[in-house]
């Protein structure tokens, strides 16, 4: 601490993102916290110092700084070497978002053992099942990388009424069509066989003005260390696309839900989203270790039932760019949680 003022280090992966990241969080820093940004390469382990970027009297400066009291990890990582070394130096409960690259298969198994299992679509490891049998059962499945983000390589596979198999990537228009008498399994093995993929029961999604959409709940811990929903939004995909990660529009859910539900149902859905998301975050922490934020992505099926599609350990904050009602909260809450950790 500098005097009684906690020092929080924001760990980022690239040198050129230090200033951008620090500027955002500095703008919403209304606590008595000193902030600096650094990369793993900036850590001088032998000297126990960090070459960090900080703001001093309105000027950005690279300085040799002591280790911070708390580290907020904004690197997208699944390896823990740097975090473990930092924890040895500053304390085991002083780094949050240790791992933020979530293994979808591991997470499915965690959630499936809890009271949330009714919200989770049936999920399998690709190389342990017969896809043709699953298509016969569900008619629609999604195939995703076990480690994936931003909707990359998420395929939609549908068995049509004519017996053909349509394989799509991002858009609904099929990229490949396997006729009824062709070997669809062979084509899929060609695409996914050597890599780690999961296959998920396909949910027939509700639409908003003929666009597929999902519901993202951004969860963050507050100054008391409690999970709270900081933002609930709807991401609408481009027309004729199912991939909501590449979205055309992001809406505040409070603006959209009255178009989808009767007034008394709106509050019920918002309450469910809040409760289910917090429970999912608590369960995810048993797998991932200490976290300060994550997002839970839901879809509504055609009967308006909620399903958890996935969790994201490093939620994209750029999607809130045009939603000023959320901006202060989403950038100030991680600092509140860091302050809470510095006092514990």
Q: Which CATH number covers residue 333?
A: 3.30.470.20
Among 154, 179, 201, identify where a domain stops: 201
Tokens representing 7? 């020092």
In terms of pLDDT, which residue wins out, 258 or 316?
258
In angstroms, rounded to a whole number, what is the distance separating the alpha carbons of residues 123 and 233?
Answer: 25
Q: Is residue 173 part of a domain?
A: yes
Q: What's the farthest any 2 CA atoms get from each other in the chain? A: 75
Examine the domain organization and report whether 165 and 220 are in the same domain: no
pTM (2 d.p.): 0.92
84 and 113 both lie in a single domain: no
- Based on the fold, state whether residues 243 and 109 are members of the same structural domain: yes
Tell me the pLDDT tens digit for each residue of 156-165: 999 999 999 9
**Percent of the chain topping pLDDT 90:** 67
Q: Tell me the average pLDDT of the chain.
A: 90
Q: Which residues contact 305 (CB under 8 A, 6 or more apart)?
A: none
Does 179 map to a domain?
Answer: yes
Please report whether residue 47 resides in a domain: yes
Q: Quick one: 41 and 163 in the same domain?
A: no
Name the residue range of residue 152's domain: 123-201
Mean per-residue pLDDT, 43-57: 93
How far apart are the C-alpha atoms of 272 and 195, rounded to whole Å? 35
Q: Tell me: do 319 and 210 sit in the same domain.
A: yes
Query: What average pLDDT does this structure show over 316-338?
Result: 90
Contacts 24+ apart (CB under 8 A), 64-67: 65/7, 65/36, 66/7, 67/9
Residue 64's closest CA among 86, 82, 46? Answer: 46
Does 143 share its domain with 159?
yes
Q: What's the pLDDT score for residue 89?
A: 92
Kindly tell me if the per-residue pLDDT of 142 is higher than 70. yes
User: Do residues 224 and 77 share a domain?
Assistant: no
Closest CA to 340 of 221, 243, 167, 218: 221
Number of domains in the chain: 3
- 1: in domain: no
Q: Which one of 201, 221, 241 terminates a domain?
A: 201
Residue 45 half-sphere exposure, CB side, CA atoms within 13 Å? 10
Same domain for 129 and 244: no
What pLDDT digit, counting tens, does each position of 255-280 carry? 999 999 998 899 999 999 999 999 99
């Amino acid at each position: 601490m500098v005097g009684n003022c906690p020092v929080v280090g924001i760990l980022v992966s690239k040198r050129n993102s230090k200033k951008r990241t620090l500027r955002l969080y500095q703008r919403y820093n209304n606590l008595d916290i000193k902030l600096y940004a650094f990369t793993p390469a900036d850590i001088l382990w032998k000297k126990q110092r960090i070459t960090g970027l900080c703001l001093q009297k309105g000027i950005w400066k690279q300085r040799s700084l002591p280790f911070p009291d708390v580290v907020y990890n904004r690197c997208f990582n699944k390896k823990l070497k740097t975090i473990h070394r930092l924890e040895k130096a500053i304390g085991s409960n002083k780094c949050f978002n240790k791992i933020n690259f979530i293994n979808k298969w591991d997470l499915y198994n965690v959630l499936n053992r809890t009271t949330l299992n009714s919200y989770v679509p049936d999920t399998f490891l690709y190389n342990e099942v017969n896809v043709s049998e699953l298509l016969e059962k569900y008619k629609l499945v999604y195939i995703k990388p076990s480690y994936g983000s931003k909707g990359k390589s998420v395929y939609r596979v549908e068995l049509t009424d004519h017996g053909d198999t349509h394989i799509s990537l991002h858009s609904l228009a099929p990229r490949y069509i396997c006729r009824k008498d062709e070997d669809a399994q062979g084509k899929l093995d060609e695409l996914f066989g050597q890599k780690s993929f999961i296959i998920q029961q396909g949910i027939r999604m509700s639409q908003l003005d003929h666009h597929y959409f999902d519901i993202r709940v951004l969860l963050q811990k507050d100054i008391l260390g409690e999970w709270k929903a900081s933002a609930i939004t709807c991401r609408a995909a481009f027309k004729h696309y199912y991939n909501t990660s590449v979205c055309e529009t992001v809406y505040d859910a409070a603006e959209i839900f009255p178009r989808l539900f009767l007034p008394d149902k709106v509050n019920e859905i918002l309450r469910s989203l809040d409760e289910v998301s917090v429970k999912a975050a608590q369960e995810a922490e048993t797998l991932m270790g200490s976290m300060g934020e994550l997002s839970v992505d839901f879809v509504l099926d055609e009967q308006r039932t909620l399903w958890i599609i996935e969790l994201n350990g490093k939620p994209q904050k750029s999607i809130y760019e045009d939603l000023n009602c959320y901006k202060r909260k989403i950038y100030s809450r991680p600092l509140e949680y860091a302050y809470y950790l510095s006092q514990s």
